[in-house]
Amino acid sequence: MENKYKAVIFDLDGTLLDTLEDLKNSVNESLRINGYNVSYTYEEAKWLIGNGTKRLCEMSIEKFNPTEEENRKVFEDFTRLYRIKQLENTVPYPHVKELLFSLKEEGIKVCVLSNKTEENVKEILASIFPNYHFDFVVGQRKDVPKKPDPYCLNKMIEDLKLNKKEILYVGDSDVDMIVSNNVNLDNVAVSYGYRPREMLKQYNPNYIVDDIIEILEIIKNK
């Protein structure tokens, strides 16, 4: 029986990879360098993630009412530090590698759409999945709107040359649910990422999974 879905588009942070420790350490170090008396815990940092690294840095010092120049400096130092730290603690979630290779065996195209800078996305994927080919990888680019703006997702759908009903979107955040709902893609919310299950349920995802390997059954059963 033919699978209903012919492509799966994954978010990266909080969906395929737990990147939070490296992001947290980089932003905390940038804040220290710039003289801010604040340091975020793992749980606190979860709420800074999902809208790209520039927004992460802005949110980290919002309560200090920073100037544009102060925001720029924190982001500049964060970017430099994260290039060094981005693979220190970052790991795939359980069963991610198993799922990715199983999807390829099923002939399903596998894509990544992230609000992380495209350079970071490609470097991290190449290091963690050195023997795996992703069909399309798109990260944040200069002068291109990031999720939940539908621009990049619509472009990826166009490049896949598939009907929307043949594409499944997988993410862990409100941003992911909003963008996939906006373009009418079936979506999966993963409950193990950086947003709580109850929050994700508000966006009425087609599926909620506790383990990413469950996506294989979603594809096969449909």
Q: What is the 3-state secondary structure (H, E, C) of the chain?
A: CCCCCCEEEECCECCCEECHHHHHHHHHHHHHHCCCCCCCCHHHHHHHCCCCHHHHHHHHCHHHCCCHHHHHHHHHHHHHHHHHHCCCCCEECCCHHHHHHHHHHCCCEEEEEEEEEHHHHHHHHHHHCCCCCCCEEEEECCCCCCCCCCHHHHHHHHHHCCCHHHEEEEECCHHHHHHHHHCCCEEEEECCCCCCHHHHHCCCCCEEECCCCHHHHHHHHC
Model confidence over 17-73: pLDDT tens digits?
A: 999 999 999 999 999 999 999 999 999 999 999 889 999 999 999 999 999 999 999
In this structure, the answer to whether residues 119 and 173 fall within a common structural domain is yes
- pLDDT at position 222 over 70: no
Query: How many folded domains does the chain comprise?
Result: 2
CATH number for the domain that contains residue 138: 3.40.50.1000
pLDDT in tens, 78-133: 999 999 999 999 999 999 999 999 999 999 999 999 999 999 999 999 999 999 99
- Are 41 and 109 found together in one domain? no
Same domain, 75 and 116: no
Q: Is pTM beyond 0.85 here?
A: yes
32 within some domain: yes
Looking at 30, 56, 85, the residue that finishes a domain is 85
Q: Are residues 214 and 127 in the same domain?
A: yes
106 and 153 part of one domain: yes
Query: In this structure, is residue 1 part of a structural domain?
Result: no
Same domain, 13 and 71: no
Is residue 2 included in any domain, yes or no? Answer: no
Q: Which domain holds residue 79?
A: 20-85
Domain termination residue (choose one: 59, 85, 111): 85
Q: Are residues 47 and 156 part of one domain?
A: no
